[in-house]
Amino acid sequence: MVSHSLALPMICFTTLWALVGVVAPFLVPKGPNRGVIVTSLILTAVCCYLFWLVAILAQANPLFGPQLKNETIWYLQYYWE
């Protein structure tokens, strides 16, 4: 049970995928494959960022919590905290 903020991961991952998708295309050396590599970098950044974003937004404001067995609750009380 750790307190997680929404802002810190948001900044981290946004900058990470921005680096991959926006900055890295300018660093690709000129060659016959430049077009494919740039397209791939941008698409990877978009897909992976979107996927991560959906996962974190879906959990940001949960409408209900997990339903646990009482054995699990005992275990978690002593092991995770």
Partner 1 sequence: MVFRSEEMCLAQLFLQSGSEYDCISELGELGLVEFRDLNPSVSSFQRRFVSEIKRCEEMERILGFLLREIQKAKIAVPQEDESPLAPPPRQVLEIMEQLQRLEMELSEVAKNKDKLQRNLLELTEYTHMLKITRTFIHSRSRVSLILTQPLYEEFPTMETDSATGSTGMQRLGAKLGFVSGLIQRVKVEAFERMLWRVCKGYTILSYTEVDESLADLDTGEISKSFVFLISFWGDQIGHKVQKICDCYHCHLYPHPENDEERADVLDSLRTRIQDLNNVLHRTDDYLRQVLQKAAESAYTWVVQVKKMKAIYHILNLCSFDVTNKCLIAEVWCPVSDLANLRGALEKGSRKGDATVPSFVNRIPSSDTPPTLLRSNKFTTGFQSIVEAYGVGDYREVSPAPYTVITFPFLFAVMFGDLGHGVIMSLFALWMVLTEKNQNKKRSSNEIWMTFFHGRYIILMMGLFSIYTGLIYNDCFSKSLNIFGSGWSVKAMFTNQHNKTVQTNALLTLDPNVSGVFSGPYPFGIDPIWNLAVNRLSFLNSYKMKMSVIVGVIHMSFGVVLSVFNHLHFRQKFSVYLLFLPELLFLICLFGYLVFMILYKWLAFSARNSSQAPSILIHFINMFLEFNLVGLISQTGMQVFLLLIAVMCVPVLLLGKPLYLYWQQRGGKGLRRLNISCTALQFDFADVLLHQAIHTIEFCLGCISNTASYLRLWALSLAHAQLSEVLWAMVMRLGFKVTTEVGVVFLVPVFGLFAMLTVSILLVMEGLSAFLHALRLHWVEFQNKFYHGTGVKFLPFDFSQLPSVFEQDGLL
Residues that bind partner 1 (CB under 8 A): 1-6, 8-9, 12-13, 32-33, 35-36, 39-40, 43-44, 47-48, 50-52, 54-70, 72-74, 76-77, 80-81
Q: Which is nearer to partner 1, 27 or 62 (CB)?
A: 62
Smallest separation (angstroms) from partner 1 to the CB of 79:
10
Please report the sign of the dihedral spanned by the C-alpha atoms of residue 56, residue 57, residue 60, residue 65: negative
Smallest separation (angstroms) from partner 1 to the CB of 28:
14
Q: Which is nearer to partner 1, 15 or 39 (CB)?
A: 39
C-alpha distances out from residue 15 to 8, 20, 46, Å: 11, 9, 12
Q: Which is nearer to partner 1, 27 or 55 (CB)?
A: 55
b or e along 60-81 (b: 16 or more beta carbons within 10 Å of the residue's beta carbon)? eeeeeeeeeeeeeeeeeeeeee
